[in-house]
Chain A
């Protein structure tokens, strides 16, 4: 059997090249549908991310309040505010901001029903995750806002910023 045939290869390449206009048409059609579908979708994502992060619509981003560690201190000490750790559960168990509860991003769907039963929609929430590059708090914040929570704040810089400020942490051995 002849495994490599130059003439046949040329014919195949020619057949592929003849498909290029159709490939371009399919790609363009999908792009038009994507943009049209997005404008009709309730999320209506910004096509180019200029603020916030991917997957967060502008209308959600505008409702997500942000505080630095100084501002967060006041919120943590306020018993009305629920502090939420959006990191994975093992990291929460090692250490977390005093009084925080765990609502990991990766387990949100499983844990949300119980959370919704026990936390009222009007309660102020302070969310944090690992650090500056971590978007988990914003992602959980988006899910809470779209489910009706009205007062959602994110700690800028996450637990890294909190630790950098030498602020107290709760560990299995007690508060440090």
Chain B
């Protein structure tokens, strides 16, 4: 497939977006902040986040507390890794995986007709359930996560090749 706009081809655009260092840093910082912001309320109110996780009806009740505590802190740690630039490739893979799991959880809730509070950014139980909106929100975050993962993996496969090509991530 070849699409050209004057001297600019789709291939060049994709290659540029797939290797752009400023884009990688922007995505790292943006997603890092999003994950830290999302973790704060869960770390402060672990009991309320456990209630929300119970409402998803995915995990057995016995392990819901442990899973909710771990998830809250995992989001915080991943956010810090992304912002600090430490183990970015691993963190990018993990935030992508986590977002896929969140979307899976929300989707199964929708298909089962369970109206629940996402618990994505807040543990407050007030107001109407907004499962569809949460799903869109998570979809956009997944897009950013996948793009970050592609950038970091491109960097991994490219960084070992050419002389003078410094890898952008650790």
In the complex, the answer to whether B124 meets A109 with C-beta atoms within 8 Å is yes
Chain B contact surface mostly: helix
Q: Hey, which chain A residues are within 8 Å of B126, CB to CB?
A: 106-110
* CA A48 to CA B10, docked complex, whole Å: 53
Q: Which of B23-31, B50-58, B139-147 contacts A (4 or more CB under 8 A)?
A: B50-58
- Known A30-B76, A45-B69; further 17 A-B contacts with Cβ < 8 A: A1-B1, A1-B2, A15-B153, A18-B156, A23-B90, A31-B73, A37-B43, A45-B47, A48-B65, A49-B64, A105-B125, A106-B127, A107-B126, A108-B126, A109-B125, A135-B54, A139-B51
In the complex, the answer to whether A43 meets B47 with C-beta atoms within 8 Å is yes
* CA A33 to CA B43, docked complex, whole Å: 10
Contact flag A37-B69 (CB < 8 Å), given A30-B77, A49-B61, A54-B53:
yes
In the complex, the answer to whether A47 meets B65 with C-beta atoms within 8 Å is yes
Distance to closest chain B CB from A30 (angstroms) = 4
Q: Which of chain A's residues 24-71 have a Cβ closer than 8 Å to chain B?
A: 25-27, 29-31, 33-35, 37-38, 41, 43, 45-50, 53-57
Q: Of B48, B72, B77, B153, which is within 8 A of A55 by CB?
A: B48
Q: Which of chain A's residues 107-144 have a Cβ closer than 8 Å to chain B?
A: 107-110, 135, 139, 142
In the complex, the answer to whether A19 meets B90 with C-beta atoms within 8 Å is yes
Q: Hey, which chain A residues are within 8 Å of B46, CB to CB?
A: 37-38, 41, 43, 45
In the complex, the chain A residue whose C-beta lies closest to that of B66 is A47
Distance to closest chain B CB from A59 (angstroms) = 12
Q: Is B165 positioned at the interface, with any CB of A under 8 Å from its CB?
A: no
* CA A23 to CA B90, docked complex, whole Å: 5
Distance to closest chain B CB from A12 (angstroms) = 5
In the complex, the answer to whether A26 meets B78 with C-beta atoms within 8 Å is yes
In the complex, the answer to whether A19 meets B77 with C-beta atoms within 8 Å is no
Contact flag A15-B157 (CB < 8 Å), given A109-B124, A110-B126:
yes
* CA A72 to CA B70, docked complex, whole Å: 39
Chain B: residues with CB nearer than 8 A to chain A?
1-2, 10-11, 14, 43, 46-51, 53-54, 61-66, 68-70, 72-74, 76-78, 81, 87, 89-91, 93-94, 124-127, 153, 156-157
* Most chain B beta-carbon neighbours within 10 Å: one of A31, A50, A107: A31
In the complex, the answer to whether B70 meets A30 with C-beta atoms within 8 Å is yes
Report A71-114 CB contacts with B as 1/0, cut-off 8 Å.
Answer: 00000000000000000000000000000000001111110000
14 example contacts (A-B, Cβ-Cβ < 8 A) are as follows A15-B153, A15-B157, A16-B153, A22-B87, A22-B90, A26-B91, A26-B94, A30-B77, A30-B78, A35-B69, A37-B43, A45-B46, A54-B51, A55-B50
